Amino acid sequence: MTPSAVSRATAQLEARLGVRLLNRTTRSVALTPAGEALSARLPALVTAMDAAVEDVAALSETPSGVARLNLPRVAAELLLAPLIAPFAKAFPAIKLALSIDDGLSDIVAKGNDAGIRNGGRLALDMAAVRLILDLSAAVVGSPDYFSARARPEHPRDLLQHACLNYRWQQTQDVYRWRFEEGGRAIDVAVEAGLTVDDTGILREAVLCGMGFACPTGSWPRWWRRAAWCGCSRNSVPLNPASFCTTP
């Protein structure tokens, strides 16, 4: 700063405080008692301010705090569960608060920082980052169910079978059984003997032999006791990709 700029800044500070800080003559400048008192305390204040700035800057270098994540049970088991321990090891200063929510509630209204949703259920006002590609799925049923019935060879054959369906809690929409065959989509409006908004109940109903369900093909831990059925080699059930969404 130039001497004139220092002089103007000092004059402005004196006017704000209502007290003279410097005695000025044409030959010298000296601190007044008030100026000496202020000068004595400034170094400690500047040091504290520098330390505060350094502490804040360190936050960007070492992530810390609480990360609140809202996600459906399927995403929790398929995507997140295998990563929790490695994440905790890599970022020990971050605490995870997970909300398992098959109802797909409003992420922000529930006080969460982010959420995981599939591509068909992304809020328009949220930023989204793709986590995985579109998932293939499979129509599954238990050995008990297959023991008395022929396996469907085409998605349309499902209309002659007992099917179990999933309903989204928040919207009450029913899961769409969508397949791809020869590059075109096929929707099958199955007649569901059971419609439920809990994936655990849906799984147990399949394993008890009540009928078919259509989970994503990446849930092998859920379906170890189920017999897989893809309907046909040319027909593949589809599920949208999963995204991490943030406000």
Q: How is domain 3-61 classified at the CATH fold level? A: Arc Repressor Mutant, subunit A (1.10.10)
The 10s digit of each residue's pLDDT in 67-114 is 898 888 777 877 788 889 999 999 898 899 988 877 767 788 778 888
pTM recorded for the entire structure:
0.52
What architecture does CATH give domain 65-130? 3-Layer(aba) Sandwich (3.40)
CATH 3.40.50.970 fits 135-240, yes or no: no
Indicate if 135-240 has the same CATH topology as 65-130: yes
The 10s digit of each residue's pLDDT in 152-208 is 888 888 888 889 988 877 678 777 787 777 777 778 888 888 998 887 888 888 888
The 10s digit of each residue's pLDDT in 47-64 is 888 888 877 776 666 778
Which residue in 218, 226, 12 sits closest to 131, CA to CA?
218
Sequence spans of domains, the chain: 3-61, 65-130, 135-240
The 10s digit of each residue's pLDDT in 128-149 is 777 765 555 678 888 888 888 8
